[in-house]
Amino acid sequence: MERIVHSQERLELMEALKHIPDAVEEGIANVADNVLRYKPAENEWSIKEVVGHLRDKSELWGRRLYMVATQTDPVLPVFDGEKSVRDHNYQATWSLTPLLDEIRASTLRTVDLLEGQPDWSRLGRHPEMGRRSLHQWAQYFLAGEIEHLEQIENLKRQAGITANP
C-alpha cells in the first residue's frame, strides 16, 4: 500500500506540472524554423513533432487522471504516440502557438483536477504498465514531460552541431 501523500509533495508536483507549458514555450522561443524541423534521423522526431506529442499527451493524461479520480479502478487507455504524431503531421505545422495554447489549457485543467482531489491513493490500471495510484500516475506524467523537455534541448544542440560543422 502506498503511503499517504503529504500536502507539500502534492503542491510540489502540481507546481511542477503547472510550469511545464512555460518550460516548453521557453525551450522553443526564438528557435529558427529549420531547427524546429530538424530530425536527427528519418525515424526520429523533430522539435515540432515533440511539441505535438506533448499536446497529445497533455490531453491523454488529463483524461487518464480524471478517470482515476472519478472511477473505481478504471482501465486507462493505451496510446500510440508514434501513430498520433504521424496522423497529425506536426512536422508540417506552420505555427506552434495553437499547440502551446492547447498544452497550457489541458495542463491547467489537469492541475485543477488534482488540486480538487482529496484522495491521491485512488487506483487506476493500464494494460501495459499495471496498477498505480493517482499520485503515482501524476508522477509518471510529470517525469515523461521532463524527458520531453530534455529531448527538445538535445534536438536544439544536435541541430546546431549539424548546421555549424
Which of the pair, 152 or 161, is modelled with greater confidence?
A: 152
Q: What percent of the chain has pLDDT over 70?
A: 93
Phi-psi region of 154 (alpha: psi -120 to 50; beta: other; left: phi over 0): alpha
Closest by CA position to 62, among listed 117, 160, 141, 116: 141
The structural domains of the chain, with segments of one domain joined by +, span: 7-163
Residue 31: the pLDDT is 94
At 80-137, the pLDDT tens digits run 999 999 999 999 988 999 999 999 999 999 999 999 998 999 999 999 999 999 999 9
SS3 percent helix, strand, coil of the chain, rounded to 5, is: 65, 5, 30
Q: What CA–CA distance (Å, rounded) separates 119 from 133?
A: 10
Per CATH, the homologous superfamily of domain 7-163 is dinb family like domain (1.20.120.450)
Residue 2: the pLDDT is 46
At 28-67, the pLDDT tens digits run 999 999 999 999 999 999 999 999 999 999 999 999 999 9
- Taking 90 as the threshold, does the pLDDT of residue 9 lie above it? no
Query: Model pTM?
Result: 0.91
- Print the SS3 string covering 22-78: HHHHHHHCCCCHHHHCCCCCCCCCCHHHHHHHHHHHHHHHHHHHHHHHHCCCCECCC
Residue 161: the pLDDT is 63
